[in-house]
């Protein structure tokens, strides 16, 4: 779910650095409770409609926060090219 949702936040996913994407995935997953499912049908079978909606919302929030965090880390680590 996390990986699929990232595609909605990154305009051109095919040209994005894989390390950048993996950083977002890892940060987002660390914000979420663990849920282990082997197949999508397993998740559909064991979750109520409300639980699924809550999970979708939590994943969306985690991905947004993770992307903002990774973007900030990258901008903080970029060398300052302006000399004073």
CB atoms within 10 A of CB 66: 23
Summarize pLDDT for 36-76 with one digit per residue, the tens: 777 777 777 788 889 989 999 999 999 999 989 999 988 88
- Angle formed by the axes of helices 49-77 and 18-31, to 10°? 130
pTM score, whole prediction: 0.76
């Amino acid at each position: 779910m996390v990986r699929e949702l990232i595609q909605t936040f990154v305009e051109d996913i095919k040209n994005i650095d894989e390390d950048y994407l993996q950083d977002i995935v890892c940060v987002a997953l660390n914000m979420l409770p663990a849920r282990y499912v082997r197949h999508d049908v397993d998740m559909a079978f064991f979750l109520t409609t409300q639980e699924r909606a809550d999970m979708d919302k939590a994943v969306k929030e985690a991905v947004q926060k993770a992307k903002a965090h990774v973007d900030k880390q990258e901008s903080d680590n970029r060398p300052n090219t302006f000399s004073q």
